[in-house]
Amino acid sequence: MHLLQTLAFLLLVYHARSVPAPLRPQLKGRSFKVDRVRRADYVAHGPTALRNAYRKFGIVPTSFGLDLEDFEPINLKDTHPAGNQTDNEPEPERTGTVSATSVQSNAQFVSPVIIGGQKIIMTFDTGSSDFWVMNTAIPEAEQQGHTVFDPSKSPTFKVMQDAEFQIRYGDSSYAAGMVGTDTVNIGGATVENQAIGIPLEVSPSLLEDQASSGLVGLGFLSISTIEPKKQPTFFGNVVPTLDEPVLTASLKTDGVGEYEFGIIDTNKYKGKMANVTVDPSNGFWQFPSTEFAIGDGPRQTITQVPTAIADTGTSIIMASPEVVEAYYAEVKNSVFASDSGGYIYPCMSEMPNLSIAVGGTMVVVPGSMMTFSPVGTNTTTGESMCFGGIQSNQGVDVQVFGDVFLKTLFVVFDHRGPSLGIATPA
Ligand SMILES: *[C@@H]1O[C@H](CO)[C@@H](O)[C@H](O)[C@H]1NC(C)=O
Ligand SMILES: *[C@@H]1O[C@H](CO)[C@@H](O)[C@H](O)[C@H]1NC(C)=O
Ligand SMILES: *[C@@H]1O[C@H](CO)[C@@H](O)[C@H](O)[C@H]1NC(C)=O
Ligand SMILES: *[C@@H]1O[C@H](CO)[C@@H](O)[C@H](O)[C@H]1NC(C)=O
pLDDT one-digit tens code per residue, 121-173:
888 899 999 999 999 999 888 887 778 999 999 999 999 999 999 887 666 67
Residues 336 and 358 in one domain: yes
Site to probe by mutation for ligand 3, drawn from 330, 350, 353, 362 as the one with most ligand atoms within 8 Å of Cβ, is 353
Can you tell me the distance from the alpha carbon of 332 to that of 8, in angstroms, rounded to the nearest whole number? 80
Residues 230 and 278 in one domain: no
The whole domain housing 284 covers: 265-425
Residues 279 and 371 in one domain: yes
Model confidence band, residue 20 (pLDDT cutoffs 50, 70, 90)? very low
pLDDT for the residue numbered 75: 65
Query: Where is the domain boundary, 184, 217, 251?
Result: 251
Residues 286 and 389 in one domain: yes
Q: How far is the CA of 284 from the centre of ligand 2 (A)?
A: 36
pLDDT one-digit tens code per residue, 176-186:
899 999 999 99
Is 183 part of a structural domain of the chain? yes
Number of domains into which the chain is organized: 2
Pairing mode, strands 354-358 and 118-125: unpaired
Q: How far is the CA of 421 from the centre of ligand 2 (A)?
A: 48
Of the ligands numbered here, which is closest to the C-alpha atom of 415? Answer: 4
CATH number at residue 345: 2.40.70.10
Query: Where is the domain boundary, 221, 251, 281?
Result: 251
Q: Please indicate whether residue 24, judged by its CB atom, sits closer than 6 Å to ligand 4.
A: no
Residues 200 and 348 in one domain: no
Is 193 part of a structural domain of the chain? yes
Cβ contacts of 67 within 8 Å, gap of 6 or more:
338, 339
Residues 42 and 190 in one domain: yes
Residues 212 and 279 in one domain: no
Residues 349 and 377 in one domain: yes
Site to probe by mutation for ligand 4, drawn from 265, 419, 420 as the one with most ligand atoms within 8 Å of Cβ, is 419
Average pLDDT over residues 100-124: 69
Number of C-beta neighbours around residue 394 at 10 A: 18
Is 12 part of a structural domain of the chain? no
Residues 205 and 134 in one domain: yes
CA 326 to chain centre: 26
Percent of the chain with pLDDT over 90: 59
Is 2 part of a structural domain of the chain? no
Residues 405 and 358 in one domain: yes
> Tell me, what amino acid is at 211?
A
Is 26 part of a structural domain of the chain? no
pLDDT for the residue numbered 303: 96
